[in-house]
Amino acid sequence: MKHTTVAANDGYQLSAHTFGDAHAARGGVLIVPAMGVEQQYYAAFAQWLARRGYFVVTFDYRGIGHSRRGSLRGFEADVLTWARQDTAAVLAFLRGRIDGRPLAWVGHSLGGQILGLVPGREHVAATLTVAAGSGHWRDYVPRLRLFAPVLWYLIVPVSVRLAGFFPGRLLRMIGDIPAGVMRQWRSWCLDPEYLFGTLPAEVRSSYAALNLPVLSLSFTDDEFLTQRNIESLHRFYSGATIEMQRIAPEDIGMPGIGHFGFFRKRCEATLWPRAGEWLDRRVRSHH
């Protein structure tokens, strides 16, 4: 594991880590994080993929983890900044290191939602989405659906106005998030078609034009998203060849997986091979 910095298209310096040998790798894998999740959370899975022969890159969006520079009060960024500036730059960095070999995208939650927004997405050969679905609140699991109006109509707007960002650490929710990111994400979650209902119509075409294999891994004990959330998002990848796997923890002998469990080391023997073997097949077929 090596730390590096990648300059976004507007010059913002992003923290990233690389895993494996770029020269000897069979291909590259970009791990694109969930909302507010720092890159070290993905390090164990990245190291495991590197041992399978991949060159892997993780990173923090601006304002998150090691890509945060001081206070977030007044910090300007939204989800489109994260996609079109930050993720695009790291994707280009990875492409430059693997010299034309296949490139795979592993998107956790938000990371599985934004592929169609990212410049350079046409170079992605295969996509694995993990616990990635529409964030429309009316489709949440019942417990969260009851709480969602309080979150989106009271807690988020009031806290962002008072703090100048979303103080997630203080509230023990998600993590600290730039105000613009939180406002845009809120607008998406309040729309039945999520981001596709709030952004220009050409965004739908960008997603529909993605002609690549997609494996969706979702979990019956996800604390946030239902199967309806998962299916709603993937319908917009209409040009892709999609394989949906809905996994119950008891079916693989685990006490729980949830929205975040896949990337924990305890899943190395059960879930990671499922992802790794799928990526191996797609990389071999792309050569």
What are the pLDDT digits (tens) for 237-250?
Answer: 999 999 999 999 99
Confidence check: pLDDT of 133 > 70: yes
Q: Give the residue-averaged pLDDT of 25-31.
A: 97
In 3D space, the residue among 217, 179, 163 whose CA is nearest the CA of residue 171 turns out to be 163
Confidence check: pLDDT of 264 > 70: yes
Radius of gyration of the chain from its Cα atoms, rounded to whole angstroms: 18
Give the pLDDT band (50/70/90) at residue 287.
low
Domains of the chain in start order, with CATH, are: 2-134+204-286 (3.40.50.1820)
Asked if residues 67 and 61 have their Cβ atoms less than 8 Å apart, the reply is yes
Distance, in Å, from the CA atom of 199 to the CA atom of 218, rounded to the nearest integer, reads 26
Confidence check: pLDDT of 270 > 80: yes
pLDDT at position 267 is 97
pLDDT at position 286 is 77
Among residues of the chain, what percentage have pLDDT more than 70? 100
Could you give the angle at which helices 43-51 and 272-286 cross, rounded to 10 degrees? Answer: 50
Please give the helix or strand (H or E) that residue 187 lies within, else none: helix 179-189
Specify the residue for token string 């319908």.
235
User: Which of 40-43's residues contact partners 24+ apart within 8 Å by CB, and which partners?
Assistant: 40/65, 41/260, 41/263, 42/108, 42/263, 43/1, 43/17, 43/19
Which pLDDT tens digit goes with each residue over 135-187? 999 999 999 999 999 999 999 999 999 999 999 999 988 899 999 999 999 99
Asked if residues 184 and 156 have their Cβ atoms less than 8 Å apart, the reply is no
Which pLDDT tens digit goes with each residue over 37-66? 999 999 999 999 999 999 999 999 999 999
Mean pLDDT of the chain: 97
